[in-house]
Chains A and B, each alone.
Chain A
Amino acid sequence: NAGVTQTPKFQVLKTGQSMTLQCAQDMNHEYMSWYRQDPGMGLRLIHYSVGAGITDQGEVPNGYNVSRSTTEDFPLRLLSAAPSQTSVYFCASSPPEGEQFFGPGTRLTVL
């Protein structure tokens, strides 16, 4: 099993550009989440999903959209990138009431 995979590993955007961060898992987990981690900080929850077709907001959802059309995939969309969104983004998946498995992260810089 590949576990949780994220693409791209690195990305540089200009202010105002849009992009989608990809996240996929092959463990058939119902739960998936997106976090961001700013330098010297812990992870903050952006959005999460408890199953295909169901998403909800976390602590810091503004500026991000998500959708969950399949169990395996949970993309994160930045509609109009801002320098404040420069961060490392982690995706995670878990079974109900189980531990979360994290991907390797995407390092995003917005100029």
Chain B
Amino acid sequence: DAKTTQPPSMDCAEGRAANLPCNHSTISGNEYVYWYRQIHSQGPQYIIHGLKNNETNEMASLIITEDRKSSTLILPHATLRDTAVYYCIVREITGNQFYFGTGTSLTVIP
């Protein structure tokens, strides 16, 4: 059973913020939310992860709802190079198995 649900595709205008939602309603207290992206057919690239607090790094921000049942990845100023498939993954704190869904294909439009 899929642990996360994401929209299959989204568009975003270049320079605008891209907000990618993820539903993980069955998440447990010992599971992280991770985000990866895959550009063309390259290996997935780590973006950010969080447990229950919002997180920010040089690439993106992660907003996790208070009940932890959903989250949003925010790319603050999308560029054409951000066009990729974005995967939201739920992972146990003590385990190291990552289960990918089908992700969201983000297209940044000039």
What residues make up the interface of A, taking CB atoms closer than 8 Å to B?
A: 4, 31, 33, 35, 40-45, 48, 50, 58-59, 88, 90, 92, 94, 96-97, 99-105, 107
- Assess whether A42 is in contact with B96, with CB atoms less than 8 Å apart: no
Q: Is the interface of A mostly helix, strand, loop or mixed?
A: strand
In-complex Cβ contact of B99 among A59, A90, A92, A107 (8 A): A59
Number of A-B pairs, beta carbon distance below 8 Å: 54
Q: Is the interface of B mostly helix, strand, loop or mixed?
A: loop
What residues make up the interface of B, taking CB atoms closer than 8 Å to A?
A: 34, 41-46, 49, 87, 93-94, 96-103
Q: How far is the CA of A61 from the CA of B69 in the complex (A)?
A: 30
- Assess whether A31 is in contact with B96, with CB atoms less than 8 Å apart: yes
- Among residues of A, the one whose C-beta sits closest to the C-beta of B47 is A99
- Assess whether A50 is in contact with B96, with CB atoms less than 8 Å apart: yes
